Amino acid sequence: MESISSGEGDASGGVSSRRGLSVQDVNIYYGNFLAVRHATADFAAQSITALIGPSGCGKSTFLRSLNRMHEVIPGARVEGTVLLDGRDIYHPSVDPVVVRRKVGMVFQRPNPFPTMSIADNVLAGKKLNASRLSKNDADVLVEQSLRGANLWDEVKNRLDAPGASLSGGQQQRLCIARAIAVEPEVLLMDEPCSALDPISTMAVESLMLDLKEKYTIIIVTHNMQQAARVSDYTAFFLSDGGPGQMVECAPTSEIFSSPKDQRTENYVTGRFG
């Protein structure tokens, strides 16, 4: 398997060899503004973790720190360690482009390239990563990714139609197909269902459960029922006026039935937020 490190050996300094993501004491800044403070959590391979918490508490910021998308904002930076399969994605020898391929992202609003065909949308990430594909390999990858995203049957007869010709729910599944076409290890999803109707939401949720067999999934959601339905673990974020923090991260059943922190209980029972 390709390493995120450009050099030989263990770029993490041998901190850990477990699979999945391990976040250790991460602080995330926009310029001088500390948006997320001291976040620490492990995200096991082949599990789904939901990030919940009130608006503005740093969920999206935290998510973007996990694939080095945060730093593309001018002045934005991350302190601390994020290990992917035991290797620090922020180590100076690590290429952020490789990190973003291994840790894919799906956004709140489906963002296919509108004029690009459905098939080319699926291949877009692959092409960005400068892989040369034969026509046959490209066809196989398009079908496999669209099947993986549970969209193949709906689009197989119009692969040349523009991305914008799909419904919102189909566009979101197209974006998921695009994300999985580059064969990531981790899939980050920021409120992927918030613009979708209940049927499309169900389709994306059942897709997440399928994808969990292969990927580590971290999803931001404001929908508590969704967190309870799909996730194995839930992390609760809160900002008490100051920087956002991860109050606790535990098995989802525990967060919803017997959280350790009173603030988590207040939130999940709807007493604030």
Ligand X SMILES: Nc1ncnc2c1ncn2[C@@H]1O[C@H](COP(=O)(O)OP(=O)(O)OP(=O)(O)O)[C@@H](O)[C@H]1O
Q: Which residues contact 89 (CB under 8 A, 6 or more apart)?
A: 4, 66, 67, 68, 82, 83, 96, 99, 103
CA distances from 147 to 69, 144, 173, 210 (A): 27, 5, 10, 11
Q: Is 60 one of the binding residues for Mg ion (CB under 5 A)?
A: yes
> Which of 4, 23, 50, 57: binder of ligand X (CB under 6 A)?
57
Q: Which segment (51-59, 80-88, 123-131, 250-258) binds ligand X by CB under 6 A?
A: 51-59
> Which of 9, 14, 56, 114: binder of ligand X (CB under 6 A)?
56
Q: Is 55 one of the binding residues for ligand X (CB under 6 A)?
A: yes
CA distances from 91 to 17, 98, 166 (A): 16, 13, 40
Q: Is 65 one of the binding residues for Mg ion (CB under 5 A)?
A: no
DSSP state of 66: T
Q: What are 89's two structure tokens? A: 């994605």
Which residues are paired to 190 by β-bridges?
A: 220
Q: Is 61 one of the binding residues for ligand X (CB under 6 A)?
A: yes
Contact partner at residue 115 from Mg ion, ligand X, none, CB < 5 to 8 Å by partner kind: none
Q: Which is nearer to Mg ion, 60 or 264 (CB)?
A: 60
For residue 61, the minimal CB distance to ligand X (Å) is 3
For residue 244, the minimal CB distance to ligand X (Å) is 6
The Cα–Cα gap between 141 and 147 comes to 10
Q: Which is nearer to ligand X, 73 or 140 (CB)?
A: 73
Contact partner at residue 56 from Mg ion, ligand X, none, CB < 5 to 8 Å by partner kind: ligand X
Residues 228-267 that bind ligand X (CB under 6 A): 244
User: Cβ-count burial of 160 within 10 angstroms (0-12 exposed, 13-18 middle, 19+ buried)?
Assistant: exposed
Residues forming contacts to ligand X in the complex (CB under 6 A) are 30, 33, 35, 55-61, 73, 244
